[in-house]
Structure 1
């Protein structure tokens, strides 16, 4: 990465972090004037996505996390585990929704290996997210085709590679151009209450390799690309939801023949304070060192209001 590009990225990261801190301060002030009313319909808040944003498991939606209405706020904590044949991913964090308009999230991902030669691999990544609802409402716009729209930013910082010795300590050693980056996305979510059907389409501009776990940009490509992500969910009743998701991925690194992600999930909402999500997930190939499709289980627990 050139000095100019690196400086621009640092400035953008600091700007996003400053906005996050300012909005967090505003949240604390808003809490003194609002009380959590949990005014949204069961399950319409979605769950927490693996990068910390509200939505599905793999894809951010236009929904704002938590069950607070436009006169309230909501918040939750989450823990997500993904296990495949050769790797494990743990993600945990906090998300806050303010007035059903703004969402703030902080998440940490830990990626580890379980099969030689990467059995000692450990990579951590921090993600700061901001999402803003732009237009529409998934519940109240039942008489129109207008979806709920939201724009979001994810500021990501990879904290380096551990467990592989001095030869590999940074994702740049794998060919990545940077160990930090920013994803930008626009999401459109439509709920058809009469049909108990939710549809979502998200377009993400990204340079991230495996969500940023393997860095950003690479020896094959170092420019932003638009990636399509989609979700479909069917509400069996007020407590059970089934669905599937698909997420396109860039292919920036010669050492990582990255493939698109997809999953099939079932989510249980025993109350508005708790949700459990279980999914079959396919993450495709992850590096040439263990060159086979990584399929496995996705399990996520979310608690909040």
Structure 2
């Protein structure tokens, strides 16, 4: 299915469920369903958690939609998406990313270059319940898959020369432990991926050696509930750096090097249907050949509506 059509259908369903109320707006405790990640699934801002998006609990169907903007010294990223939560066990999500290359595009002779990626995801809760098992050692565990498609741009020939594809699939498993009495949430995710810079620079790279196989990348999150509707926390997402090898073979030195992503965030939920997230992000270096190896630090701002 065309990604834009899929998004339109999912967003329409979300609006329909929201309008009908679906009896899911009285379900989960505030912030225990996470927020929407940059890839559309429920979790922190940068990494998925084992929780299922929306306010739906067992026997309910709910939906969420969100808008996110990220700005660093040299780049901008805008994201919108939606998700459906079914019986607090299944989640379907979709996200559209628009990465503004700004001066990097100009340096490449491609002024106004935007990298656009569509992501369709599915998640299934396999074990545990974050809230009901909060007084035990059992975490909530979920497995997920994300299908990613990078839109056609002026970089197609470059990616092809590097041996990078414009589509890929990520697989992950997440374990989320909520210590409700202490107001603490811990999450660990292990992702199998071929993505370069989350897929914004394609998937894999065969130039200079076979770098197209999957790699396992851990992702860590921690959040503390300051009050019932405010949480603060941090995330660390290990990123593949396989494109650098292809860049060296192409004579670019470390010009395509990438590094880990991280953030420190605060999330506020004034009610069960709305949440706002503000974060300081560090996306490491992105195409340092054109940015003087500057670290891409800046802001992350996201608004989510859930039912």
Give the C-alpha shift of residue 37 in structure 1.
4.8
Give the C-alpha shift of residue 36 in structure 1.
2.6
For the residues of structure 1 that align with 2:174 and 2:62, how far apart are their CA atoms? 20
SS in 2 for 1:194: helix
TM-score, normalising length: structure 1? 0.86
Partner of 2:226: 236
The answer on whether the counterparts of 2:25 and 2:273 sit within 8 Å (CA) in structure 1 is no
Give the C-alpha shift of residue 120 in structure 1.
2.3
- Taking a change above 3 Å as real, the CA distance of residues 106 and 170 of structure 1, as seen in their structure-2 partners, is farther
SS in 2 for 1:160: coil
Partner of 2:102: 114
Structure 1 segments of 4+ aligned residues over 4 angstroms from their partners:
none
The one of 177, 194, 213 aligned to 1:190: 177
Partner of 2:250: none
The answer on whether the counterparts of 1:227 and 1:248 sit within 8 Å (CA) in structure 2 is yes
The answer on whether the counterparts of 1:176 and 1:214 sit within 8 Å (CA) in structure 2 is no
Partner of 1:56: 44
SS in 2 for 1:172: helix
SS in 1 for 2:178: strand
Give the C-alpha shift of residue 41 in structure 1.
0.7
- Taking a change above 3 Å as real, the CA distance of residues 87 and 176 of structure 1, as seen in their structure-2 partners, is farther
Give the C-alpha shift of residue 174 in structure 1.
6.2
Partner of 2:91: 103
For the residues of structure 1 that align with 2:25 and 2:272, how far apart are their CA atoms? 11
For the residues of structure 2 that align with 1:174 and 1:262, how far apart are their CA atoms? 30
| 1:12-32 deviations in Å (ceiling 9; x for gaps) | xx8xx9xx99xx7xx99xx79
SS in 1 for 2:159: helix
Give the C-alpha shift of residue 108 in structure 1.
0.4
Match runs of 1:73-152 below 5 Å: 73-115=61-103, 116-117=106-107, 120-152=112-144
| 1:65-118 deviations in Å (ceiling 9; x for gaps) | 011111112111111111001100111011110000000001100001222415
Partner of 1:165: none
Aligned positions, number = 279
For the residues of structure 2 that align with 1:301 and 1:161, how far apart are their CA atoms? 29
For the residues of structure 1 that align with 2:267 and 2:161, how far apart are their CA atoms? 36
Whether 2:272 is the aligned partner of 1:272: answer yes
The answer on whether the counterparts of 2:140 and 2:177 sit within 8 Å (CA) in structure 1 is yes
RMSD, aligned α-carbons: 2.4
For the residues of structure 1 that align with 2:25 and 2:202, how far apart are their CA atoms? 40
The answer on whether the counterparts of 1:37 and 1:69 sit within 8 Å (CA) in structure 2 is no
TM-score, normalising length: structure 2? 0.85
The one of 196, 204, 215 aligned to 1:209: 196
- Taking a change above 3 Å as real, the CA distance of residues 103 and 133 of structure 1, as seen in their structure-2 partners, is same
For the residues of structure 1 that align with 2:240 and 2:94, how far apart are their CA atoms? 24
For the residues of structure 2 that align with 1:56 and 1:153, how far apart are their CA atoms? 17
